[in-house]
Structure formats: structure tokens, C-alpha cells
Structure 1
Amino acid sequence: MYIHYTKQNHFETYVLAEQNSDTYIEVVPQRGAIISKYVHQGQDVFYLDEETLADASKNIRGGNPVLFPISSYLENETYTYEGQAYQLKQHGFARNLPGRVINVQADEHSASIAIEIVHNEETLIRYPFQFRLVMTYTLSEQGLSVHAAITNLDSKTMPFYQGYHPYFYVADKEKLLLNVPSQNYRDMIAGSVVQGSFNLQQPESNAIYEQLQANRCEMIDQTRRLKVALEFDEVYQYVVLWALEGKPFICIEPWMAPVNGMNVGKGIQQLAAGETHSSTVRIEAAAL
């Protein structure tokens, strides 16, 4: 049986849980509709820096930030649309916008919550499109489903490329196994990939993988005997790995477009006026 309830922890927080297994997620609508915690049978799946969650002036370091209307970063934080220059910070602005809960439910099979994020006067300055983004999170025996429905409320075609920035908790990086389905990568920080393996032994590592051979990544935390699989729709054509020395996490990020996508013209989704684009990412944790 699944249940849902709310609690106050810096911000109003929605908890979706399997009643008898210590499996649950916590969602903070006011902080970019973020899933701040995901726990599977008592084991942390997501890492979270609580201080960054509590401080609304900071980007949250942890959970699963939503990246929209861009998933990467832009050269000089600038792109051009119809001859006019606009500025967008890295990963877009959705993670800093308040969300509104439009549905929450639970039954014997699952629990889910739907949260709406819409344009405002500030977003229109940086991204001249009216939009509606609905994030729906579902917890079930199959794991965690992250579904995005993006509707173009404008009268003109809307370019975007979405992504996610999940922080996966790792007990001991020396005993971490990673499987990314590609041998084609680009170091965004020198030395991030060594002899084909992601380098967790330097202060910061960051690499982007393309030409994916499958839509599934896996990480195995051998210390905790926990396997986490990340599956994503084919529209997510890139996977980014990011890690910091001394921090117990690794980010495995599905992106629709590469770095500077708006300017290089790769991976951009062109959504016609009035249409809706849907995509899903699934996260499954299992004991070994």
C-alpha cells in the first residue's frame, strides 16, 4: 500500500511512500518541483546537501533538479532568437521557480504527484515563450518515474531541450562500478576519463557521452550492495557524469542536447504552438 502526506521542513514537503518498506520520496514544490530525497528500503538513493535546500538563494546541491528550458550551459550564457540576444544561466531556470501541486494520489499500487511550473514576467525576459511544464513523479514497485509534459502556450514555435541532474549517493567511490552505454565522450575537465573509465580520483571530473548505444545507465555501490539503474526515453541523447572529490555523490545526467545546444543547433526540440511534448526518465534501485 502506498500513502502520501505533507510535512514542513524549511518548505512544505510532500512525502510519497510505500507503507511497509521504508521506501519513499520527498518533493519540494516551491524549490523547482525538486525530488529532494529518494530512499529505497532504507538506503539513500539520492544525495542531498540540506543547507542548499534550506537557502532559497542557492541552487540545490542534491536530489534531482529539473533542467529547463536548457539542460547544459551556453557560451557566455547567451543565445540568439530572431536576431535578439537573450541570456540564460547554466541548466536554465526551472529549478529556481516555484511549482504548484495540481494532483496527488496514492493507492495499493503506487503514489504520484503532479506539479505545474509556468512562465512569468522574469522568465519571459530571458526566454520569450509562454509555457507550462508539468512534472509528474510516480513511486511504485517498478521504482521512480519522472515524467515531464511541456506545453507551448505561445503563438510561435518554442525551442527547448530538457534534462535532469540527479545526485546519486555513493558510500565509497573506490568501490563504485559505472556502466554508460557509449565509448564516445568529451572531457569537459581534463583527465575526467582515464583509460575508458570515469576518473573519481581528481578534485573535479566532468565528461559528456554521446552516440549512446542504449538508453540505460547503471551504477553499483558495492559497499552498500545496491544497484541503481537510470533509464530514459530516446530523446535524451547525451549523458553527463560529474563528481567532486570528497563528496559522496556522482551525478549521472540525461540531457537532450550537448553543451551550448541553443547555439550549435543540436538536440533542440521545436515545439509548435499549442502542442505538448512528453518524456520520461525512470530510476530503479535494487539490493544485490
Structure 2
Amino acid sequence: MRTYEIISSEWDGVSTFKLVDHAAKAEAEVIPAVGFHLFRFDVGNESYIAKPESLAVLRAQSSRYGVPILFPPGRVKQAAFTFEGREYRLPANREPHHAHGELRERPWKVVASGADAAEGAYVSAEIDFAEHPEMLAYFPHAACFRFTYRLKDGTLSLSGEIANRSSQSMPLSLGFHPYFAFAKEEASRVRVVIPAAAEWPLSEDGYAAGEPAPSALTAALHQGQLVTELPEYPGGSQMLTIKPGHQSCELHYEARGTKLVYDMGDRFPIHVLFTAPWSDAVSLEPYTSIMNVFNEPFSADLSGAKGIAAGGTFEFSWSIRVIALD
């Protein structure tokens, strides 16, 4: 038997790709037709990603399960912002605001897939704004997103490139919203470790209300905070600035004797920690910038505000692996 397999499958009649690593007893599954969504990651017969009960639920609530791709992450006030003197008006998909972008729910086009000893099991897909006139109408940049999920040596990774093929620089605010699952009875034995440098004070509606500073929460997260001791929703969403350099977070599943290591690379200086009220899951969310970034008054070095030059690219990678708990 080969170590790696890529299996074409279906979920409620829609095509999916299963990435299998037999040696690590790991399996991941993505659905390109709904936002190139990773909706399952199992290791050793344990589920580590919260899966919705049906495809219909995922289509209706694509930001609430699996690993949604967010562009932009979070909410944009009044569904509008200004970048380099140009005004952008987004669809008000969470009246009167815009939330989480459309990449998480639109179909992506598969451009490559395979499995072998050198590459592991992988699937690549892309979405190009130039092929979606209705998106170009509010985001006038021929931006092409090409991402690859790969399962190799027990590690599930996502790497990607965003290419700006337009003649003007484009605003960049990218994030991911992985829902890491746990059983209800093990919640009191799941611990979160995040290298947080500072916590952003938030307004009642969740936007940045001042500059970030070290806090009791950031100190607790360095040592590991139990999921059951995190603030409850709606105060259960915290926006953090991560320590500079290579960034890695952990979830300690004490009842399972395993540790999930989320290696986020060095492209995501902002992190949102979120406990979902509708699911037994906790989200560790890497962002390139704070929510609503281009409407906020903070300096770019604090907020992460940036763009991609005309003809330029933005590249990133992150990975998840499950290992034995020390």
C-alpha cells in the first residue's frame, strides 16, 4: 500500500478531495465548490476540525465550521473603506456591514492534485477575480488566489500565493478561521498556548478601541489557558498582536494525550482567539491585519495595513500537526 493517496469523493453529491497519509493515520478533506473549504482533519481516529452536519449547513454558514478562507477577515464597517485614496464598497452581507469576504463560499477551480512519496497528498485550487465580473465591480483588481493543501509526514499544510495582476496596488487583508474541535466532555482538559505580545482593547461591537498592550490574558496564554477559562461569547473573541518572528500556537488535548501544533509562519502578525457558541470548538485565527483595518487610525506597523503592488504577489504558508503531548 502506498503511504499517500488522493481520493476523489463526494459529500451530499458534491465533489471533494480526501488527502490520506496512511503511515500517520491522518486524513483531511476539502470541498473546492464551497470556498476550497477544509472541513475535516482526522488523526488516529480523532477529529481535530469541526465539521458541519451537512453540506447545506456549510453553504448557509460557511464562516462557522471547518477552515474558512477570509478576505477580508472580520467585519468592515458600513461595508466600505478607503485605500490609497480610492473608495471600495463591498456587499453588505451582514447588514449594514460586510463580513469575512466571499472567497469562503464561492467555487474554486482545481488546477492540480496528486500523491507520491516526494510531495505527499495534495490538491491545488485557484479563484481569479478576473473571471468574476460581479466581484470586480466592487474590488477592481485582477487578483488571483492559488492555494495548495498538502498532507505529508503527518503534517497538514496550506501554502498560497495572491497575485495582483492589475495596474494598481490592491489592499490586502487575509485571514483564516480554523475551528479546532473537542468533545464536550473534554473541554475542561483542552489548553490553548499562544505567543501573544499584546491584547487589543475592543469596543462592544468588537472593533479595535485603542492600541494593544500586554494583559493578564496574554500572560496566561503563554503558559496555557484552559478553553473553559476563556471569556464567554460575545467577550469570547480576543484580538492579539503576536510576538515578532516565526509564530506557533498549540492546543493541548490532555484527555487524548496529544498536542496540536499550529505553525503560522511569519506573515500573520495579528491573531484572533474565538470560542464558538454554536459548536464545541475554539478558533485560533491568523490575520495579516486587524479587522476593519483600512478604516482604523492606527499605524500600519501596529495594524498590519498593507497592499500588494501592481504585478506583485503575497505568499504565505501555515501547517498543522498532531503529536504526543509531552
1:61 positional shift:
2.1
Q: Mark the CA change 1:72 to 1:108 in structure 2 (over 3 Å): closer, same or farther.
A: same
**1:259 deviation in Å?**
1.8
Structure 1 residue 124: Cα displacement: 1.4
Write the letter of the residue equivalent to 2:124. Answer: A
* Alpha-carbon distance in 1 for matches of 2:314, 2:174: 11
Percent of aligned pairs with the same residue?
A: 22
The corresponding residue for 2:75 is 73
Q: Which residue of 1 aligns with 2:256?
A: 224
Unaligned regions of 5+ residues in structure 1, if any?
none
Corresponding residue number in structure 1 for 2:140: 128
Aligned-partner Cα distance in 1 for 2:62–2:203? 21
Write the distance in 2 (CA, Å) between the matches of 1:222 and 1:246: 23
**2:111 corresponding residue in structure 1:** 102
**Residues 3-18 of structure 1: pairs in structure 2 closer than 5 A:** 3-10=5-12, 11-18=14-21
The 8 Å contact of residues 52 and 58 in structure 2, kept in 1 or not, is answered as no
Query: Residue in 1 aligned with 2:159?
Result: 147
Give the AA of the match of 1:46: I
Match of 2:27 in 1: 24
Pairs aligned (count): 286
Candidates 168, 173, 185, aligned match of 2:180: 168
Letter in structure 2 aligned against 1:111: A
Task: Give unpaired runs (5+ residues) of structure 2.
Answer: 92-97, 207-214
1:207 aligns with 2:207: no
**C-alpha displacement of 1:260:** 1.2
Query: Residues 258 and 246 from structure 1, CA distance in 2 versus in 1: closer, same or farther, beyond 3 angstroms?
Result: closer
1:157 paired residue number: 169
Where do 1:55-70 residues align within 5 Å? 56-68=59-71, 70=72
**Alpha-carbon deviation of 1:142?**
5.0
Structure 1 residue 113, shift from structure 2 partner = 0.8
Tell me how far 1:84 sits from its aligned partner: 2.9
Query: TM-score by structure 1 length?
Result: 0.90
1:261 to 293, 299, 324: 293
How much has 1:125 moved relative to structure 2? Answer: 2.4
Counterpart CA distance in 2 for 1:259 and 1:233 is: 20
Following the alignment from structure 2 to structure 1, what is the Cα–Cα distance between the partners of residues 231 and 198? 21
Distance 1:179 1:19 in 2: 29
Q: Deviation per CA, 1:244-265, whole angstroms, max 9, x where unpaired? A: 3473100000000012112235
How far did 1:241 drift?
0.6
SS in structure 1 opposite 2:311?
coil
Question: What is the CA-CA distance between 1:14 and the residue it aligns to?
Answer: 0.5
Q: How many Å apart are 1:167 and its aligned residue?
A: 0.4
Contact 1:201–1:245 (Cα < 8 Å) also in 2: no
CA pair 268-53 structure 1, distance change in 2 beyond 3 A:
farther
- Secondary structure in 1 matching 2:59: coil
What's the offset of the Cα at 1:12?
0.6
Cα RMSD of the aligned pairs, angstroms, is: 2.4
Structure number with higher strand proportion:
1
Residues 1:2 and 2:4 are matched in the alignment: yes
Describe how 1:226-245 pairs up with structure 2 within 5 A. Answer: 226-245=258-277
2:100 corresponds to 1:91: yes
Distance in 1 between the 2:23 and 2:159 partners?
Answer: 25
